[in-house]
Each structure stands twice: as C-alpha cells, then as structure tokens.
A and B are shown apart, each in its own frame.
Chain A
Amino acid sequence: MLKITKTPKCYVGGAFIRSESGRVAPLTDNSGNFLCNIPLCTRKDVRNAVEAAAKAGAGWAKRTPYNRAQILYRLAEMLESRATEMAAVTSTREVRSTIDRMVHYAGWADKYEQVLGSVNPVATSHFNFTVTEPVGIVGILAPEDAPLLGLITLILPAITAGNSVVALASRECPYPAILLGEILAVSDLPGGVVNLITGDRADMLATFATHEHIRAIAAVADKADATALQQGAADSVKRVVIHPPATDWFSGKHETPYSIRDFTEAKTIWHPIGA
C-alpha cells in the first residue's frame, strides 16, 4: 500500500495554515529517515497570528471562569483520546504529565481569582477591592526539550487567565505541537485563543519582543535570547517571564496560581460607601 506522508500545518486562528512564506524544513526520525516537511514561519506569520489572537481574545476573556474550566478540562479529554499517538512522538510519561497539568489548570480557572484578588482595608469610607484582568496577547517561546509538556506548561497559565496566545514550538521537535494543534481544533477552545507556529526562533524572536500588541512573553531562553527579548520588550513595556533552558518541566512547582498571576493585571476599585 502506498504510504501517504502527512503535511503538518500550523494552527492559527482556528485554521490549519502553511507559512505565508511557503518555506518548509524537512523533519527526520531518530534514524534519519524523512518524516515530513515542517512549515518555517516568518515574522509575517507572527503578525498574522497576533491578529488572530486579538480577534479571539475579547470573547475568550468574557467567558465565565467556570466555562473556561470546562473547556480546559475538555482539552485534557481530547488529548487523552489521542494519547497513544502523542506518546509515540513524545513519551508516555510526558503525555500523562501534560494531561495532569491541563486538569490542574482547569481546576484553577474558577479559583485563582479568590487567591489573587483581595479585599483591601482602607482608612476612608470606601469598599476597596482588587480583581485581576487578563493582560491580552501572550507570546510564548517553547523549550527545545519536553516539546509538549514545556509548551503546554507555558500556554496553560496564560489561557486560564483569559489571555490569548501566540506560541512558537520547539525547533528540533515541532511535531508534538502540530498534533497539539489538531487536538485544540476539536476541543471547545475557540479558534484563535491558542495559535501555534513552527520555525526558526532567530527569524521571529525580534518580532515577538517588539510587537506592541503582544502584552507579555513567556520564554525558555538562554542569556543572549533573554537579553534580546527584554530589550525589545522595553519600548512597549511588555512583561517578560524567562525560564532557563535547564528547567525540569515535570516538576510539580509548575502547578501554581502564581504562574497565572504573571499574565494578569491587577485592577483595584475604590467604591464609595456611606459613612
């Protein structure tokens, strides 16, 4: 029987796209056999993905926390049903941990506000309270190792808080991100909330850093990349969260509401009250 090779595509704005440049790079398996061609996205693709994220962002932020929780849980269900396929390109352990992490953040979706928000004592006759709001569009640069777990660990806190995401997958091992896109497409997550692109980081790093519409960056970066990101982000006063390349993605320390806080903006309200 003739083998049909797959054309992997990026997942942007709820659609499967090739790079606007038309460029691809061959992907091989461990023994060096050709598997498929992976799109090499460009800064133009980043900008298009940001437009898609902007379009989807408002609607996603307006969903009730309870609904976001349901959708994230559904995402875990969808990965579960393709666990074997995903394990074949990552590892069973990584897939199990990814599913656990999705369920973990699904739980936080309607609870982080109670932890991060507060009622503040003030000396005047005001009811003073703080609530969190999503920052907007979050740019994500995934790690080279743990191509699924690392990527999803950076995505989940951002979308749990109601942000939308443009994520650049691992360059060496992009296929799990391609599969993740296919899983996202059949989950209930609205198209455009998570946008996954593949390609060379060097082509797109500066655009991630300087694009003014991206309000925060979560990146796994060495010292040079981190400096480039922080300098580029300075003009647009963008929040930058850097993880070192040696991060242990399986560690339980990634399951915390404080990583959700990184992608929220605190809003404090002074509400006048009688006497």
Chain B
Amino acid sequence: MIRRNSLQRLLDEVGPVDQAGIEERVSKYTTRSIKKSSKLFGLRLAVSMVDLTTLEGKDTPGKVASLCRKALRPHNAPDIPQVAAVCVYPSMVKHAAKHVKGTPVRIASVATAFPSGQAPLKTRLAEVRQAVADGADEIDMVINRGAFLMGELNLVQDEISAVLEACGDATLKVILETSELETYDHIRAASFLAMRVLRPGDFIKTSTGKTSANATLGNNQVMLDAIRDHFLATGNEIAMKPAGGIRTAKQALQFLIAVKETLGDGWLNNRRYRFGASALLNDLLRQLETQRTGAYQAPWAFSEDSSGY
C-alpha cells in the first residue's frame, strides 16, 4: 500500500492529464491541410529526423550495411537530407560504425535488455558500456515498467541515473513503453521521473515498437506537454522521440504539427525531435518524389527499407 502511495504522490505532484481534452486536441491535428511548400518543408524535416531502425533477430552485418547506405543517401534526388541516425542492436554497433563514423549520421543503439528490460542491472549497464565503447553516439534504454507500476519509483529513477552515467558523452533516450504504462497519467508521471535526471538534449521516447500499441498522437502529446512543463519549470530542454507505428508521411506531418504547436520552432530539428521508424522513410521519399515529379510513385522506385529485407 505504501508503494502505491509513492506513485500517487508523484501523480499529485505533476498533475493529472485530461484524457478527453488530449484526445480532442490531437484529433484536430489530423484535420490540418498542409500543402505545397509547407508540405515539402515538413517532409524534408521529417526525413532529417528519422532514426532509421532495424531491430530484428535476423539482423546481419550486411543488412546493417545496407541500412547505413540508405541512411547516408536515402534517394538519388537532390536536396533530400540524410537521416538523423541509424538505430541498431548493440552487437551491430561496430558494423554500423564502419559505414557512418565521421558522417553527420549518428549511431543509436538500443541497450538495457531491449525490449523487455528484464535483466539484472549489472548486465544492462555492461551492455550500455559495450555499445558506447563500440561507437554508439546514442543509447536507447527501456525503463523498468514493472517497478514503475509497483510504485518503486526510486528504483526506476536510480536505474536511469546509472545508465546515464554508463553512457558517458553519449545521448540517452529513455523509452517509457507507453503501451505498458496504461494511462496518460502514468505516461506523464514517468516522463517527469525520467526528465528529472536527464541532461538537456537527452530524449524521452514513447515505445520500443515491439508491443501491439505504439506511438500515437495522444501519448506523443502527453509527453510533449510534460517536456514543455519541465522546460518552463527548469529551463532544461528535453528532446522527444515517438517510435513504432509511424509509417506514413501524413502521420509524420501530424506529429510535427503537434511539436510546432506545443513546443514551437526550438524543437523542430533533429536534435530535439526524432522519429523511430523503418517504413516511414520510404513513404516520405515517395511523397517528396510525387511533389517533385507530379506523378505518384511506385514502391519499386525506392530501395527497400529495412522492413523489406
């Protein structure tokens, strides 16, 4: 009972989320009409924000190499930017490093027994250190959802701090796994729990992409609101990464509208906002090519994304 109360105390402290209000608000984002130059701007921006991801048991160094080539040069057309980062498993970091080290494309690695996080802390920290030693610029960690739901908030926060220390200079992204937190109130509370120990420029991230429910406009909005409130209270700029389930350019533009209208232009760059996705990039390219050529493109006009290997 006492443990429940610690979660309750945090909820009281950070304030509740108006679920109906949030859903009403995000449903408005989907009705905006974005055309012509604004659309091109949004699409290019979204390309530059993609964390091009492959997280599968069947990943091989060869597959990671293709992913890196795609990240460095998403399409032949001129003026299409490079993506922000490639996101791979820790064992693949050294293979990715061969291709993207020294380029603007960063290497992100999921670590801490992704996606469940169910491994001893010692093992998780060792994984993080190894990934950073192999060349990872960014670490995507998962929080201990079981501990969070049990009310062991100090444990959750201490683990984040420990991983942060293991990261050294690498950027940390804290995956809340929103689908397992169940309510918007919990998502907001977990966001604050993480943000209070994060450095400016570190990320909070919605999901692993490995569960049925992934990033939605709703939980994205709750987390953006939390980032704004935290920024207004402390001046710390925390970055945001929705991941999983964002497959179409249209969705990406809707997420960008949410960023623009909640946090403003300061967050409309790939140091403050990212998309964790694999199939999204090709749809963005498809829309950009459609805008450029005037003809809707066939899927075979683009190199396969990592979901297609």
Interface residues of A in 21-71 (CB under 8 A from B): 47, 50, 54
Q: Which residues of B contact A236 (CB under 8 A)?
A: 295, 298
Q: Which residues of A contact B298 (CB under 8 A)?
A: 212-213, 236
Q: Does B301 contact A (CB under 8 A)?
A: yes
Interface residues of B in 271-309 (CB under 8 A from A): 294-299, 301
Q: Which residues of B contact A212 (CB under 8 A)?
A: 295-298, 301
Q: Does A235 contact B (CB under 8 A)?
A: yes
In this complex, what residue of A is CB-closest to B301? A212
Q: Which residues of A contact B301 (CB under 8 A)?
A: 212
Q: Which residues of A contact B295 (CB under 8 A)?
A: 210-212, 235-236
Min CB distance, B89 to chain A, in Å? 30
Min CB distance, B296 to chain A, in Å? 5
For chain A, give the interface size range.
Answer: 10 to 19
Min CB distance, B231 to chain A, in Å? 38
Q: Does A153 contact B (CB under 8 A)?
A: no
Question: In this complex, which of A47, A54, A213, A235 has the most chain B Cβ atoms within 10 angstroms of its Cβ?
Answer: A213
In this complex, what residue of B is CB-closest to A213? B298
Q: Which residues of B contact A50 (CB under 8 A)?
A: 296
Query: How far, in angstroms, from A213 to B296 measured CA to CA in the complex?
Result: 8
Interface residues of A in 206-250 (CB under 8 A from B): 207, 210-213, 235-236
Min CB distance, B250 to chain A, in Å? 11
Q: Which residues of B contact A213 (CB under 8 A)?
A: 296-299
Query: How far, in angstroms, from A212 to B296 measured CA to CA in the complex?
Result: 6
Query: How far, in angstroms, from A50 to B299 measured CA to CA in the complex?
Result: 12
Q: Which residues of B contact A210 (CB under 8 A)?
A: 294-296
Min CB distance, A16 to chain B, in Å? 22
Q: Which residues of B contact A207 (CB under 8 A)?
A: 296
Min CB distance, A210 to chain B, in Å? 4
Q: Which residues of B contact A54 (CB under 8 A)?
A: 299
Q: Which residues of A contact B296 (CB under 8 A)?
A: 47, 50, 207, 210-213
Query: How far, in angstroms, from A50 to B295 measured CA to CA in the complex?
Result: 13
Query: How far, in angstroms, from A235 to B297 measured CA to CA in the complex?
Result: 11
Q: Which residues of B contact A235 (CB under 8 A)?
A: 295
In this complex, what residue of B is CB-closest to A47? B296
Min CB distance, A232 to chain B, in Å? 8
Query: How far, in angstroms, from A236 to B290 measured CA to CA in the complex?
Result: 13
Query: How far, in angstroms, from A210 to B299 measured CA to CA in the complex?
Result: 14
Q: Which residues of A contact B299 (CB under 8 A)?
A: 54, 213
Min CB distance, A133 to chain B, in Å? 15
Query: How far, in angstroms, from A76 to B145 measured CA to CA in the complex?
Result: 57
In this complex, what residue of A is CB-closest to B295? A210
Q: Which residues of A contact B294 (CB under 8 A)?
A: 210
Q: Which residues of A contact B297 (CB under 8 A)?
A: 212-213
Min CB distance, A247 to chain B, in Å? 29
Min CB distance, B205 to chain A, in Å? 29
Min CB distance, B295 to chain A, in Å? 4
Min CB distance, B34 to chain A, in Å? 14
Query: How far, in angstroms, from A210 to B301 measured CA to CA in the complex?
Result: 14
In this complex, what residue of A is CB-closest to B289? A212
Query: How far, in angstroms, from A54 to B298 measured CA to CA in the complex?
Result: 10
Min CB distance, B280 to chain A, in Å? 16
Q: Which residues of B contact A211 (CB under 8 A)?
A: 295-296
Min CB distance, B287 to chain A, in Å? 11
Query: How far, in angstroms, from A235 to B294 measured CA to CA in the complex?
Result: 11
Query: How far, in angstroms, from A47 to B294 measured CA to CA in the complex?
Result: 13
Query: How far, in angstroms, from A213 to B286 measured CA to CA in the complex?
Result: 12
Query: How far, in angstroms, from A191 to B132 measured CA to CA in the complex?
Result: 49
Query: How far, in angstroms, from A213 to B134 measured CA to CA in the complex?
Result: 42
Min CB distance, B183 to chain A, in Å? 32
Min CB distance, A70 to chain B, in Å? 31
Query: How far, in angstroms, from A47 to B250 measured CA to CA in the complex?
Result: 14
Query: How far, in angstroms, from A47 to B295 measured CA to CA in the complex?
Result: 11
Question: In this complex, which of B294, B296, B299, B301 has the most chain A Cβ atoms within 10 angstroms of its Cβ?
Answer: B296
Min CB distance, A1 to chain B, in Å? 39
Min CB distance, B30 to chain A, in Å? 13
Query: How far, in angstroms, from A207 to B297 measured CA to CA in the complex?
Result: 11
Min CB distance, A155 to chain B, in Å? 22
Contact with B along A8-21 (1 / 0, CB 8 A): 00000000000000
Min CB distance, A246 to chain B, in Å? 31
Min CB distance, A190 to chain B, in Å? 20
Min CB distance, B240 to chain A, in Å? 30
Question: In this complex, which of A207, A212, A213, A236 has the most chain B Cβ atoms within 10 angstroms of its Cβ?
Answer: A212
11 residue pairs from A and B, CB less than 8 Å apart: A47-B296, A50-B296, A54-B299, A210-B295, A210-B296, A212-B295, A212-B296, A212-B297, A212-B298, A212-B301, A213-B299
Extra A-B contacts (11), CB below 8 Å, given A207-B296, A210-B294, A210-B296: A54-B299, A210-B295, A211-B295, A211-B296, A212-B296, A212-B298, A213-B296, A213-B297, A213-B299, A235-B295, A236-B298
* B residues adjacent to A (C-beta < 8 A): 294-299, 301
* A residues adjacent to B (C-beta < 8 A): 47, 50, 54, 207, 210-213, 235-236
What 6 A-B pairs are tightest by C-beta distance, nearest first? A210-B295, A213-B298, A212-B298, A211-B296, A212-B297, A47-B296
